[in-house]
Structure 1
Amino acid sequence: MNTKENKVNYQPLLIFGGAFSLFFAFWVYLIASKNPFIKSFDTVVYNAIRNNNPVERQLAFYWTQLGNTLTITVFTVVLVLFLVYQRNYIHAVFASLTMIAANACNSIIKNIIQRQRPRMDKAVHADGFSFPSGHSVGSMTLALVLIALIVVLVKKKPVKTWLIVFCVFFTLSIGFTRMYLHVHWPSDVLGGWCEGLAFSSLASWLFFKALDKKNKLNP
């Protein structure tokens, strides 16, 4: 990583964050009110991805562990400590507070909505309520936090591109495994992604704005 930040046009992030926040609020309303559209949405997606191949299910089971709370928390702590070590204090505050805020909000909404999980395979264990998907929120938020850090700290374009592609693949694949293993409704995963997008977009806007202000004060 290079400590000299790249310039970023961050203003659209405020619009994106606001749009995802509104959509997430609307999605929460649909879930809470048990709107028939949600059941139709879940049924269509489940029918499209249904597959009982034991090898693929086992691979999905192993991969989904990368998005659990423990793994995401450990990785975030290591990331924040590394940023502090590199004296990238604004970056460290951004990463830690964004992850804490998104996951705390997710926990609150879970306990308010109290949506039950789908009927699960006994070989797959999952605790707590279903909406929003914690794996989806955590992986999406972490992926976009990493993308924001990659954009400002990595200068080599090929490296930057491949890292960003992997971050996108990571969060989408984690969400897919939650549906594939039938531990979450598809609407849980979509809701989790939107929540993560809302928090990370707004937080990234504040992050880039803080860096811009810092660079202007210390050209």
Structure 2
Amino acid sequence: MKLYRLDASAKREWVISSLLLFVFVFIFARFADELAENGLTRFDLSIIERVQGMTAPELTAIMKVLTSLGSTAAVVLLLLLLVVFLLRQKKRREALFLVVAAGGGGLFNLLLKRTFERPRPDIQRLIEITGYSFPSGHSMIAVIFYGMLGIFCSMYVKSGFLKIFIGGMAIVLILMIGLSRVYLGVHYPSDVIAGFAAGGAWLLICLMGWRTVMNVQFHDRD
């Protein structure tokens, strides 16, 4: 039986990832608890009032485009294109990992929605959509897919500036997709924040699993 020891860098990554995972789980649990006690109304309505107070035809068109980037159709299409690209680059493990992470995240979101069964808001809704509201699927999948995409891209880029730029663009896109859900009136702000937290937790779990597998495979080759 082989024992695999993590080096100092890997240990540091595990500690940071574990702390962030705890933060994400804590945030989600806090919002879930407030939802169960009907304690989110004031928080949600105060933010909705400000966000929807900016409503304008041009901004609505932009928000519709942004929200479409977090839709199932868009994510599945981009995922398929990325998987094909990775397979052509002979990166089969990365392709499989992306499919498992995104697919598992989608199923996790459905499970959470079925658990809480929160109705969607009915305040100045600019698009029509069905299903439960908590947590936001768009926000959760955006964190998982675009977060994973940003991390993978930065892994294969040598320039420090490009790494920061890619990471920054991924974060901005994720935040804007979440904001678009509130602006369009199909989610409460607490849905979006809980979606970010749940997506962040799932992303970290997947990344920690990925690091573990890659570390074991690396030692197996030694």
TM-score bracket for this pair, using the shorter chain length: 0.7 to 0.9
User: Unaligned regions of 5+ residues in structure 1, if any?
Assistant: 1-6
Question: 1:49-93: per-residue Cα shift (whole Å, max 9, x none)?
Answer: 222222211221222111111101111222223222222232222
Q: Who is 1:19 aligned against?
A: 23
| Amino acid in structure 1 at the alignment position of 2:137 | G
Contact kept in structure 2, 1:10 and 1:208, CA below 8 Å: no
Question: 1:111-153: per-residue Cα shift (whole Å, max 9, x none)?
Answer: 2221111115465121211111111011111122113312322
User: Unaligned regions of 5+ residues in structure 2, if any?
Assistant: 1-8
1:94 is displaced (CA, Å) by: 2.0
1:13 is displaced (CA, Å) by: 1.2
**Is the partner of 2:69 in helix, strand or coil?**
helix
| Amino acid in structure 2 at the alignment position of 1:23 | I
Seq. identity, %: 24
Contact kept in structure 2, 1:151 and 1:160, CA below 8 Å: yes
Q: Who is 2:46 aligned against?
A: 44
Q: Does 1:198 align with 2:204?
A: no
Distance in 2 of aligned mates of 1:192 and 1:122? 20
**Which protein has greater RCO, CA pairs closer than 8 Å, 6+ apart?**
1
RMSD: 2.0
Distance in 2 of aligned mates of 1:140 and 1:197? 6
Question: 1:169-214: per-residue Cα shift (whole Å, max 9, x none)?
Answer: 1100000011111111001100110010000011111212222333
Q: Who is 2:97 aligned against?
A: 94
Worse-superposed segment, 209-218 or 108-117: 209-218
Distance in 1 of aligned mates of 2:155 and 2:209? 14
Q: Does 1:214 align with 2:184?
A: no
Q: Who is 1:117 aligned against?
A: 120
Q: Which runs of 4+ in 1 moved over 6 A?
A: none
Distance in 1 of aligned mates of 2:32 and 2:75? 24
With normalisation by structure 1, the TM-score equals: 0.87
Q: Does 1:67 align with 2:83?
A: no
Worse-superposed segment, 7-16 or 185-194: 7-16
Q: What is the 5 A alignment of 1:64-213?
A: 64-119=67-122, 121=124, 123-213=126-216
1:25 is displaced (CA, Å) by: 2.8
